[in-house]
Structure 1
Amino acid sequence: MKGADIVPVPASASASPKNVPNACSALARKHPSASSSPARLAQFSIAGANGSWLQAPSALVRNRPRRLGWLVRSAASGAGALALAGLSLAVVKLFRRSDPGGQSGLASDRLYQGSALLSFSLLADSALEHYRGGYSNPAMFVGPVTGLLTLSVSLFKLARRTLPARVPIYAAAVVVGGIGLGFHLYNVGKREGGLSWQNVFYAAPLGAPAAASLAGVFGLAAGELERMEAGLSPVPRSVAATGLGLVSSAALAATSAEAALLHFRGAFQNPFMLAPVTLPPLAAAALAGTVVKSTRLAITASRTLLGASAAIGVAGAGFHAYGIARNMGGWRNWSQMILQGPPIPAPPAFTGSALAGLGALRLLEMADERR
């Protein structure tokens, strides 16, 4: 085989470890340059108990048909991303109200959808990450349970079902998120080196528990908009629009900051890793600017950038699934790679925050129309 270093040796050389020196001597006689250093000699391996040959693994790598495998993995990941996008659109359509109850109802739907996606991200991500940590602290069960409760409430509200425990559940989620931030900060600080880049990269993610607080805030705000539409809320629409716009803008900026930290840890080895650290911050800045001075151009720009940020959340889940496929063993070793690879439930947080921003934008438009 051209380009491969093959040296015939006795069959017993590969059958018994004690004959490895003899095989290496044969290799050194065949390739004097290989004996120039132990590191060079160590690049070669004995293989084939019945094949009686000694071959350099580098030749095997050069002759491996990798391009076809790369195309297959890329096609499978693209199909998975499209399927995930279709599933997300189907879920949103399924839980969209047939009669949302006016423009405030449309805005509240966006907030409930944002709360549901943030809750799903919290539920799946915290369940996986805390499982990887062995649930060493009983408080680690609180995150997944909170995500499950807020997800259930949001989906029930989108299906026009009433739940008497809606307000307590959302309020508890806000508190749980704040406490979780404290726990994660403590986890980083107690490690050797304290608050260092090494610990920030590899310890508990500092911003992850904020998803619980955001899901609770958006759920409570959606309920207040429903009361506003019924004439039962004393909060002016302009005040609600300003507050929601600023909170949604901060949510997008914070989510992007966490993605920037983890993608920097991954050395931005894929150019698409720049997308969640560029478009969402632009959307956050545009939304905050629209809150300060609402113009038709500002509203159009904000809506476009928020829509792009929502799409990044869906596409990011597909890219993370592809990232798992690229790890050793890929999806055939899913039980390990799903814990060690990029987190699939994390990117939908962009979609949830962007949907809440679209709801705030709808309120801003309504406030402008009534002036």
Structure 2
Amino acid sequence: MTEFDTDRGSLNAGLAIAGLLAGSVLLLAAGRAPANGHRNGRAAALPPRRSSRKRPTVVAARRLNRAAGVLAASVLADSSVEHYRGSFKNKAMYTPLIVSASTLATSLHGTADARPAAHWFRDATYLTAAVSGLIGTGFHIYNVGKKVGGFSWQNFFYGAPIGAPMAILLSGLLGFCSERVRESRKGTRPEIFQLPAGRTMAAVIGAGLLGTSGEAGLLHFRGAFHNPFMLLPVTLPPLGAALLGRAALAGPGQQHRATRWWMRVLAAMGFAGVGLHAYGVSRNMGGWRNWSQNILNGPPLPAPPSFAGLALAGLAALELMEDHPDA
């Protein structure tokens, strides 16, 4: 088989994977997650698991748990590959693996929990993730600054990615906010730190999309945008952030249909990016036959789903605003 045929076969395989993933996330994002409403309760005495009417706040909280889990899974896989490539030179490099794995497990627990009460252990795990994300960002900034030349383009391109730890910060923040939404009393406005929960989350997620897009833009600029698809993560997410910002500032009663559809597009882009990165790995010398080296040196396979996690969180915030117009 010629090199051209091999590349074409890899492209077709990558696009097939991307199509399957995109279709799955569209179905996932378009559907409303089933959740049963229950009596009010506190974390100290969670209410029993009984079928009742759906509670919009619990539905929204479980969606946020799911979004936090997607982000945590992306961080777990990405940090495992990148820190393995760095030979875990600093023992602190094990921290994001432990924290993201714990956050993922906690998010799965929250997604399965249909009770309208916050859980103290989930709160503690999510807060730990947020703090570790801040500390990790500091470590990465220090890593870049200590290299010869300091804060130069060369070091930004090839040093520790400054924006990477912010993903676990966002995962922890989304999870912690999901618990605040979950424990909202029936008949009251869901709030986060006395702010309307839906609009606050829309603003936070919009900022997260901008930051994630900036990180992707830096690395794709390093790759000279040699593939037109590399423009997608630096053009589509900022538009999504603008739409979420408008939703956050809009008054009650708005439908935000265009914003919801854009979030679904971003979710599909995030999962389809795995297929495109897989194609990028296949184009390196040896292709997938040399996977042990090319996965480390090719485009990061686990990175694109971070966009999907933020988009799913955006959908949760928009649905909450629809169910609670004053949120």
Q: TM-score, structure 1 length as denominator?
A: 0.76
Corresponding residue for 2:130? 174
Corresponding position: 1:312 with 2:231:
no
State the AA in 2 paired with 1:291.
A
Q: CA deviation at 1:80?
A: 2.3
Cα distance change on mapping 1:329 and 1:91 into 2, 3 Å: farther
The amino acid that maps onto 1:339 is L
Distance 1:71 1:198, change over 3 A: same
Shift of 1:84: 3.8
Change in Cα spacing, 1:229 to 1:338, as seen in structure 2 (3 Å) is farther
- Matched with 1:18 is none
Pairwise CA distance, 1:110: 2.1
Q: Which residue of 1 aligns with 2:284?
A: 327
Residue 95 of structure 2 corresponds to 142
Structure 1 residues 97 and 149: alpha-carbon distance in aligned structure 2, compared to 1, 3 A threshold: farther
- Report whether the alignment pairs 1:365 with 2:318: no
Cα distance between partner residues in 1 of 2:189 and 2:123: 15
Larger radius of gyration: 1
Unpaired segments ≥5 residues, structure 1: 1-63
Displacement after TM superposition at 1:81 (Å): 2.0
Contact 1:228 1:235 in 2 (8 A): yes
SS at match of 2:256: helix
Q: CA deviation at 1:105?
A: 2.4
Contact 2:199 2:248 in 1 (8 A): yes
Counterpart of 1:257? 214
- Map 1:22-61 → 2, pairs under 5 A: none
- Out of 130, 134, 141, the position equivalent to 1:185 is 141
Correspondent of 2:8 among 44, 57, 71? 71
Alignment partners' CA distance in 1, 2:55 and 2:68: 20
Q: Is the 8 A contact 1:150 1:170 kept in 2?
A: yes
The Cα of 1:98 is off from its aligned counterpart by 4.7
Q: Residue 13 of structure 2 aligns to which amino acid in structure 1?
A: A
Give me the whole-angstrom Cα distance separating, in 2, the residues matched to 1:258 and 1:307: 21
SS state at 2:184 partner: helix
Q: Which residue is 1:117 aligned to? A: 70
2:108 is matched with which residue: 155, 171, 175?
A: 155
Q: Is the 8 A contact 1:176 1:213 kept in 2?
A: yes
Counterpart contact for 1:92–1:113, Cα < 8 Å = no
Judging changes above 3 Å, is the alpha-carbon distance between structure 1 residues 145 and 352 closer, same or farther for their aligned structure 2 residues?
same
Identity %: 45
Q: Deviations over 1:280-300 (max 9, x none)?
A: 100001110111124777712
Point out which structure has higher relative CO (alpha carbons under 8 A, 6+ apart).
2
2:111 aligned partner, one-letter code: L
| Correspondent of 1:270 among 227, 234, 244 | 227
CA shift, 1:242, in A, is 2.2
Deviations 1:64-108 (A, max 9, x none): 944432321222112222344466679889x95453632222321
Aligned positions of 1:1-40 closer than 5 A: none
Question: What is the distance in 2 between the residues matched to 1:228 and 1:211?
Answer: 26
Distance in 2 between the 1:164 and 1:243 partners? 22
Structure 2 residues not aligned, in runs of 5+: 38-53
Q: Name the SS for the 1:122 alignment partner.
A: helix
Q: Indicate how the Cα distance of structure 1 residues 91 and 366 shifts in structure 2: closer, same or farther if over 3 A, else same.
A: closer
Say if 1:328 and 1:229 are closer, same or farther in 2 by CA, change over 3 A: farther
**So what's the TM-score if we normalise by structure 2?**
0.86
Amino acid of the residue matched to residue 301 of structure 1?
Answer: A
**Residue type at the aligned position of 2:89:** S
**Distance between the aligned counterparts of 2:190 and 2:267, measured in 1?**
32
Could you say which structure has the higher helix fraction? 1
Q: SS at 1:342's partner residue?
A: coil
